[in-house]
Amino acid sequence: MPLTLAVALAHLLGRRRQTAVSMLGVALGVGFFIAISGMMNGFHEFFRGELIESNPHIVVTDEFRLPAEQPLHAQHADAAVEIRRVLPRDPVRGINHAAEMLEGLAAIPGVAAAPTLRGQVLLRRAGRDWSVAVLGIDPDREVQVTSLASDMIAGTIDALKATPDGIILGKTLADRMGVEVGDAVNGVSRSAQVARLRVVGIFKTGLEALDSGQAFVGLRKQQSLQDRPRIVNEIRIRLDDVSRSIEMAALIESRWSYKAAPWEETNARVLAVFTLQNVIIYSTVGAILIVAGFGIFNVISTVVLEKARDIAIMKSIGFSGASIARIFVIEGLIVGVLGSLVGFCVGFGIAEALRAVPAPGATDPNQTLLVSLPAWRYALAGGLATLSAVVAGWLPARRAARTNPLEIIRGAA
Amino acid sequence: MTLEARGLTRILPGPVQQVLVRDVDLSIAPGEFVAVSGPSGSGKSSLLYLLGLLDVPTAGEILVDGAPSAALAEDARASLRLARFGFVFQFHFLLPEFSALENVRLPMRRLGALAPEAAAARARALLESLDIGDQAGKRPDQLSGGQRQRVAIARALANDPAYLLADEPTGALDSANAAAVFGIFRTLAREGRTVIVVTHDEGLAQTASRRVRMKDGLVVADEGT
Ligand SMILES: Nc1ncnc2c1ncn2[C@@H]1O[C@H](COP(=O)(O)OP(=O)(O)O)[C@@H](O)[C@H]1O
Ligand SMILES: [Mg+2]
């Protein structure tokens, strides 16, 4: 065993209790980081998966990000022309030439597209109203772009084809309205069209926003309800490779000018919450590790004071300042590495325990919490903890390295 | 292999400057056994620290093996101490967690000139030559004062130093142990080492081959037998 390591071990073994406590600090910091970040990221991945499954990857709407170029600009291309307060185009028109656009989209490999007319409908039942985002869909195409087919818990999508006035409701909404498949509800649109609708299916995605506020009817039905015949105001797109959503959306937008929002944009707020949660976890754990670092600093500072005589004799014998410092840095390293290893076990244990906990609000009662723990997260926690331990050892080590042995040797005589 | 001081002066800086050692010239040859004596506070320890490169002179210089040491950086002085000097102080300064044998091995492990087995064998032989071979496995707190000081001497000899410097090594020992330690030093000097011992015990000082007396930082007498 190298000499510095032997001396470092002797120091730590001489202060077993303090060493154990500071190691425990590191272990808890590392362990909780691993467990909590694993659970949080498991949830994030699950939620992202649900979002990607249940929602279209790209939604093209009948809006433009930029106002159309004004003729005045075209006329005076070289002049400085500023036009203020250009009103956006009237959205009632929907997407022009939607059929051609759908054909164009279908020609792109790895892209499936479905036309939709989205519009608010007031559903009435037993004297109460529910305002619902209703999507008029083409059932055959819709199944290619969302997981609606697999989310059905009662009835089928195809019933929309057989029953022209059929409607598919979210599970939460259906429960609130107290309706089941076969029941009738009244629908009133903004354009005051009234229709009697029959519940032909109920879906459950697990995403509360959809389950409580969305409903599907046939495209034709929606067009007549909204009084917008042959209009489509949304094209929903699914990609074979979801990781290309942003570039594909940009491509679509540049080709057809309509706003094409990738799912990352549509769900930006949710993703921002995830980022915030991660920031909170990382800073909490950072704080725990800093506190653990103070513990280590405390132990090693005490050892440096207590071992002043040993340091003095070693320096007088001929140990360099750097070799003295190395002893105490190694002590920090030992506490950091052993603490991290214990922390790995703690984190792994908690994570495994969490995997057995039933997930709150899951569709499947056997569904337990998802924990995502890639190896790099262990490495990150251990690396940060070890780094903080080494810094905590290095500060007192520097002082030890600088001590003048004569001060102690004179005093001890 | 001489140790030489030329115009050696050490002044403590401060509002009131304090002269620890003033203008000392000494040349000590191999095999000499030098006893430095004098009243308390006369600068004996200060001189020894300067000779052993533990302290840096304010003026003058130390020549180790004929080579000047003034230009050496701290780490270079540490290396030179490790290879050429052995120190014994009044307090033993043994590392409490390590056995006598491990304490003696410490300088050898630092120097790294010997393989681990050879170093252990040498440490054992040193302890045996000082009549404490049977205490090799004990830790300092299990040894008597005289035994500890012998371990400290063995440690000082670990790297076979040319210069053995001792500052009141018998200060904490009874007269029998003190006489025995001086006997050891005499033997070491006869083997060709340079031995310099600070003591205020005039009787023991008389047993040395050369006696240097100090007063107020000055060498006031320097006589051989
Ligand atoms: N660091 C110091 N600060 C103040 N005074 C010191 C210091 N070191 C030594 N002295 C003083 O210098 C003088 C010489 O000390 P020292 O060499 O230890 O003498 P001796 O070993 O002969 O007793 C003494 O008066 C001592 O008190
Ligand atoms: Mg003294």
**pLDDT tens digits for A187-237?**
998 888 888 999 999 999 888 888 999 999 999 999 999 888 888 999 999
Tell me: ipTM over 0.85.
yes
The protein residue whose alpha carbon is closest to atom 18 in ligand 1 is B45
Q: Is the dihedral of CA A158, A159, A164, A169 positive or negative?
A: negative
Mean of pLDDT values over A244-268: 89
Cα–Cα distance between B124 and A176 in angstroms, integer?
Answer: 90
pLDDT digits (tens, 9 = 90+) for A334-384: 999 999 999 999 999 999 999 888 887 666 777 888 888 889 989 999 998
Least Cα separation, residue A26 to chain B (angstroms): 26
For ligand 1, say whether the CB of B39 is within 6 Å of any of its atoms.
no
Boundary (domain end) residue, out of A239, A262, A285? A262
Residue A107 makes CB contacts below 8 A (sequence gap 6+) with none
pLDDT digits (tens, 9 = 90+) for B52-102: 999 999 999 999 999 999 999 999 999 999 999 999 999 999 999 999 999
Query: A41 is in which domain, residue-wise?
Result: 3-52+270-412
Cα–Cα distance between B187 and A203 in angstroms, integer?
Answer: 101
In a domain, A133, yes or no: yes
Q: Closest to A10 (Cβ–Cβ): which among B78, B89, B98? A: B98
Residues A199 and A324 in one domain: no
A-facing residues of B in 82-141 (CB < 8 A) are 82-83, 85, 87, 89-91, 93, 95-98, 106-107, 109-111
The ligand 1 atom at the shortest distance from the C-alpha of residue B214 is 22
Residues A228 and A112 in one domain: yes
Residues A393 and A306 in one domain: yes
Chain A CA closest to residue B85: A317
User: Does residue A315 sit at the B interface (CB-CB below 8 Å)?
Assistant: yes
Contacts of A14 in chain B (CB under 8 A): 97
pLDDT greater than 90 at residue B213: yes
pLDDT greater than 60 at residue A16: yes
In a mutagenesis test of the B interface, which of A314, A324, A408, A409 is the best target, namely the one with the most B β-carbons within 10 Å? A409
Question: Do A10 and B95 lie within an 8 Å CB cutoff?
Answer: yes
Strand partners, A368: A358
pLDDT at A70: 76
The protein residue whose alpha carbon is closest to atom 1 in ligand 1 is A407
pLDDT digits (tens, 9 = 90+) for B12-45: 998 998 999 999 999 999 999 999 999 999 999 9
pLDDT digits (tens, 9 = 90+) for B187-203: 999 999 999 999 988 88
Contacts of A319 in chain B (CB under 8 A): 78, 82, 110
Boundary (domain end) residue, out of A215, A239, A262? A262
Q: Closest to B54 (Cβ–Cβ): which among A11, A316, A323? A: A316
Nearest to B188 by CA among B129, B133, B131: B129
Per-residue confidence band for A89, with pLDDT thresholds at 50, 70 and 90: low
The ligand 1 atom at the shortest distance from the C-alpha of residue B39 is 22
Per-residue confidence band for A91, with pLDDT thresholds at 50, 70 and 90: low
In a domain, A63, yes or no: yes
CB-defined contacts A:B, below 8 A: 73
Q: What percent of chain A has pLDDT over 90?
A: 51
Strand partners, B165: B87, B196
In a mutagenesis test of the B interface, which of A1, A13, A313, A314 is the best target, namely the one with the most B β-carbons within 10 Å? A313
In a domain, A88, yes or no: no
Dist. CA A390 → ligand 2 center (Å): 39
Per-residue confidence band for A152, with pLDDT thresholds at 50, 70 and 90: very high
pLDDT greater than 70 at residue A412: no
In a domain, A78, yes or no: no
Cα–Cα distance between B36 and B199 in angstroms, integer?
Answer: 6
Chain B CA closest to residue A317: B82
Least Cα separation, residue A324 to chain B (angstroms): 11
Residues A230 and A274 in one domain: no
Residues A214 and A281 in one domain: no
Residues A320 and A378 in one domain: yes
Boundary (domain end) residue, out of A211, A229, A262? A262
Contacts of B113 in chain A (CB under 8 A): none
Contacts of B61-66 spanning 24+ positions with Cβ under 8 A: B61/B5, B61/B6, B61/B7, B61/B8, B62/B3, B62/B4, B62/B5, B62/B6, B62/B8, B63/B2, B63/B3, B63/B4, B63/B5, B63/B6, B64/B3, B64/B163, B65/B1, B65/B2, B65/B162, B66/B2, B66/B4
Q: B31, B194 in Cβ contact below 8 A?
A: yes
Residues A210 and A293 in one domain: no
In a domain, A83, yes or no: no
Strands in B18-28's sheet, in edge-to-edge order, are: B18-28, B3-12, B59-64, B67-68
Residues A285 and A220 in one domain: no
User: Does residue B45 sit at the A interface (CB-CB below 8 Å)?
Assistant: yes
User: Does residue B78 sit at the A interface (CB-CB below 8 Å)?
Assistant: yes
pLDDT digits (tens, 9 = 90+) for A117-130: 999 999 998 889 99
Ligand located closest to B38 CA: 1
The protein residue whose alpha carbon is closest to atom 17 in ligand 1 is B43
In a domain, A80, yes or no: no
pLDDT at A92: 61
User: Does residue B19 sit at the A interface (CB-CB below 8 Å)?
Assistant: no
For ligand 1, say whether the CB of B37 is within 6 Å of any of its atoms.
no
In a domain, A114, yes or no: yes
Mean of pLDDT values over A145-173: 92
Residues A275 and A251 in one domain: no
Residues A245 and A300 in one domain: no
In a domain, A76, yes or no: no
Residue B16 makes CB contacts below 8 A (sequence gap 6+) with none
Number of CB atoms found within 10 A of residue A353's CB:
12
The protein residue whose alpha carbon is closest to atom 25 in ligand 1 is B41
Number of domains present in the structure of chain A: 2
Cα–Cα distance between A383 and A336 in angstroms, integer?
Answer: 9
Residues A108 and A252 in one domain: yes
Residues A306 and A346 in one domain: yes
